Structure 1
Amino acid sequence: MMKNLLKILFAPLLWLFHSCSPLGNPVDPEKSDSHYYNNSKSEIRYSPMGNWFELGNTGMHADVESFEVFNRWLGRDKDQLFYEAYAVTNLPIDLATFRVKDEDYMAHIGFDSNFVYAFDKVYEGDAYRGRATIIDGADPKTYVQTDIDWANDGKLHFFRNHKIEADFDSFQPLNDYFAKDSSRAYVRNDNCFESFGADVASLELLGESSHTIDKKNVYWLPFFTENASNPIALPYADKAEVEILNPYFLRVADTIYYDGQARPDIDNQSFEIIDHSYAKDATHVYYKDNIVENADVATFRRLEGSYKYIDKNGTYHEGRLEEK
């Protein structure tokens, strides 16, 4: 009874919602849930997943008769290619041979007879436009995206659309920051992988961290320090004395490092991680790399069941005592 009553009450609202829709039928429902004709079928409109009420809809200024959908993001008419609602005009793409692949991770990738393209949109002046970027060196006949970041064409590996100059067959990503092949080690600089002087045979990940270690050095990526070298080589004598303490701190023998920088002022013997960004030794409490002024070492702790930190003086937020 209640279900029927609700249907009766909401039926007028649903009718009103659909009657106000600027969208008509989808252009090709098997390929895209975002490309629609308008109600008079005189215009193509782009509405992400058809959710015009929350996500809006945009006229595409495309030729209706010749418009063709490739997937949720890409389409073309007789004159131009579109990314979402916006014409791609920055590169001369061969429309006659343009195609996409329906494989996973390939929705923003397209091909013509000469190049592989990655597509996105940019805001210029007071409007968006579609943008195509040629993936340098990629073979349009064989290129495939293997996950959201990595791709290959059988001869070259690519990370986020940047080619990697490495031996193809022996190339091995260790994570999204380090890789190696049979003769060289690589570290990521922005989105490009560049070789660096690690020992290839012994290079491996440092535990479950983003950093690596070989037979002589820890290679630390300074995520929290601006303008630091990349990576920082930290020599060690005994691998058993290397201990990653949390994302910020590393112990090598008797030295504590913060984000790859030695901290001789921290007492190694008494140093301990409190939780996440906080640590302490016998004389100081630390928030990341800063001493927490006037914090009481003996009573400083995380408040159970919360992310607040307290000592006998009060409550701390981001390394500072909150005012009472």
Structure 2
Amino acid sequence: MGRKDIGNGFAVIDDKFILHFDSEVYRKFYGIIEFASFEIIQSNGSTFHYFRDRNHIYLESYMNAFCVLTDADVTNFHIIDFENGMASSLAMDYVFDKKLTYRLADVKELGGLYQQVGDAIYCAYFQQVESADAETFEVLHGERIGNLAKDKNHIYFRQEIVADADAASFRILEQCVSGNYYRECDHTFYALDKQRAFYIDTIARSIKPIRTKSLEQFRFEVRDGLGYALDAEYRYIHGKRSRL
């Protein structure tokens, strides 16, 4: 049996199949892969790999299953930022397995999930924030929240407008982002505007209004490692209320 080790636990066997740590991989692509020239471009050794053969560029990552990188040119391909899945070929740029409609060189990172390209705002590179005003657009606590932003007209959660939220008065409760630990402090937050309160869960990708009759008393406290919002009548955990 002819075995060609190509690094990071990968081996090509008899120019017929591929092993990764002795488990066969990528079988449904065997009709495409040119085994004799198949090699690693860059790999983290476990979950993220760029490959090439004489015909194609291939990618497997924590963001996508093994695939052919569409339209990538084997002789003109380079990785720009391996950790973030950024690569380039000819006049095209990629983030993981997807082609961008603009060039990475034109991107201004705004923090969190947001980017600016000219007068356009994007969320996670591919979702354009259609109504965004680039001049006044800002990410709210991008180091902690990342997918919440505002401009002069709207509040945005990811690329969507938050209905009925007042951009001028909207704010995250300071106690949520002050650095004090509470359980799930990495993804659950509360906010206020002049009309209502909101519960934010960035993992669940949701922002929900909270009905309160005492908005002026709405606040956030940490008790025994749990983060609670409170008003005159109720306390709230994970956005759900119970009587005080």
TM-score, normalisation: structure 1: 0.55
Aligned mates of 1:86, 1:120 — CA distance in 2? 17
Residue aligning to 1:194: 127
2:72 is paired with a residue whose SS is: coil
1:136 CA displacement: 2.5
Aligned mates of 1:150, 1:265 — CA distance in 2? 44
Q: Does 1:135 align with 2:69?
A: yes
Q: Does 1:233 align with 2:157?
A: no
Confirm or deny: 8 A CA contact 1:117 1:132 kept in the other structure: yes
1:80 CA displacement: 2.4
**Cα distance change on mapping 1:147 and 1:232 into 2, 3 Å:** farther
Aligned mates of 1:170, 1:243 — CA distance in 2? 30
Confirm or deny: 8 A CA contact 1:90 1:132 kept in the other structure: no
1:287 CA displacement: 1.3
Percent of paired sites with the same residue: 15
**Which of 172, 182, 199 lines up with 1:244 in the alignment?**
172
Q: How big is the alpha-carbon RMSD for the aligned residues of Structure 1 and Structure 2?
A: 3.0
Structure 1 segment 29-108 matched on structure 2, within 5 A: 63=1, 66-77=2-13, 78-84=15-21, 85-91=23-29, 92-102=32-42, 108=49
**Cα distance change on mapping 1:286 and 1:180 into 2, 3 Å:** same
Aligned mates of 1:137, 1:277 — CA distance in 2? 49
**Which of 207, 219, 238 lines up with 1:288 in the alignment?**
238
**Cα distance change on mapping 1:120 and 1:169 into 2, 3 Å:** closer
Q: One-letter code of the match for 1:261?
A: K
Residue aligning to 2:182: none
Aligned mates of 1:201, 1:252 — CA distance in 2? 22
After TM superposition, where is structure 1 displaced by more than 6 Å over at least 4 residues in a row? Answer: 103-106
Q: One-letter code of the match for 1:75?
A: A
1:269 is paired with a residue whose SS is: helix
1:203 CA displacement: 2.4
Residue aligning to 1:33: none
Q: Does 1:161 align with 2:124?
A: no
**Cα distance change on mapping 1:153 and 1:237 into 2, 3 Å:** closer
1:104 CA displacement: 6.4
**Cα distance change on mapping 1:173 and 1:237 into 2, 3 Å:** closer
Aligned mates of 2:36, 2:150 — CA distance in 1? 50
Q: One-letter code of the match for 1:134?
A: V
**Cα distance change on mapping 1:256 and 1:164 into 2, 3 Å:** same
Gaps in structure 2 of 5+ consecutive residues: 177-187, 201-206
Higher strand share: 2
1:270 CA displacement: 0.5
Residue aligning to 1:49: none
**Cα distance change on mapping 1:173 and 1:83 into 2, 3 Å:** farther
**Cα distance change on mapping 1:88 and 1:244 into 2, 3 Å:** same
TM-score, normalisation: structure 2: 0.71
1:86 CA displacement: 0.9
Confirm or deny: 8 A CA contact 1:110 1:117 kept in the other structure: yes
Aligned mates of 1:204, 1:81 — CA distance in 2? 47
Point out the structure with max Rg over C-alpha: 1
Aligned mates of 1:204, 1:158 — CA distance in 2? 25
2:215 is paired with a residue whose SS is: coil
Residue aligning to 1:271: 218
Confirm or deny: 8 A CA contact 1:255 1:264 kept in the other structure: yes
Deviations 1:109-133 (A, max 9, x none): 2112332212379xxxxxxxxx731
Q: Does 1:150 align with 2:85?
A: yes
Q: One-letter code of the match for 2:51?
A: G
Q: Does 1:217 align with 2:154?
A: yes
Residue aligning to 2:179: none
1:185 is paired with a residue whose SS is: strand
Residue aligning to 1:178: 114
Aligned residues: 208
Aligned mates of 1:175, 1:104 — CA distance in 2? 25
1:71 CA displacement: 1.9
Residue aligning to 1:255: 196
